Amino acid sequence: FGNFPPSKIPPNKVDHLLGLLHDTWCSSFAEIVFSPGNIYASQASKWRVIKCATELQEAGIKFEKATESSSLFDIKFKNGIMRIHPLQIDDDTE
C-alpha cells in the first residue's frame, strides 16, 4: 500500500478482503493525515464526502478501468473520467 504503515490488524480478526481493505485504509489514512505536524491536518475541515459511484455516474462522471495502475488506491480523475484499478467481486468472493 505504498506509504501506508504496516497493518496492525491481527490476522484472526479479518473476516473478508473488503473488511481488511477498509480497516487498513481507514486506520492508516487517519494515522498519516491527522498526525501532529502533518500539513493535511489543518486542511481536513475543507474536505468533502465523495458521492457513491451511482451518484457520480448520474452527475455525468464516466468510469474506466485503470490499465497502468497496480494499486487499488491509485485513482485518477481527468476530463470527467475516473480511472480506478478494478476490484473483482463475484459469487465466490467472501
Partners of 65 in the beta sheet?
Answer: 84
DSSP one-letter code for 50: P
**pTM beyond 0.75:** no
Q: Residue range 17-29: average pLDDT? A: 66
Angstrom distance (rounded) from CA 42 to CA 10 = 32
pLDDT single digits (tens) 26-80? 655 556 666 666 666 666 666 666 778 888 899 999 999 988 777 777 888 899 9
- Give domain limits for the chain: 1-47, 49-94
Mapped onto helix, strand or coil, the DSSP state of residue 64 is strand
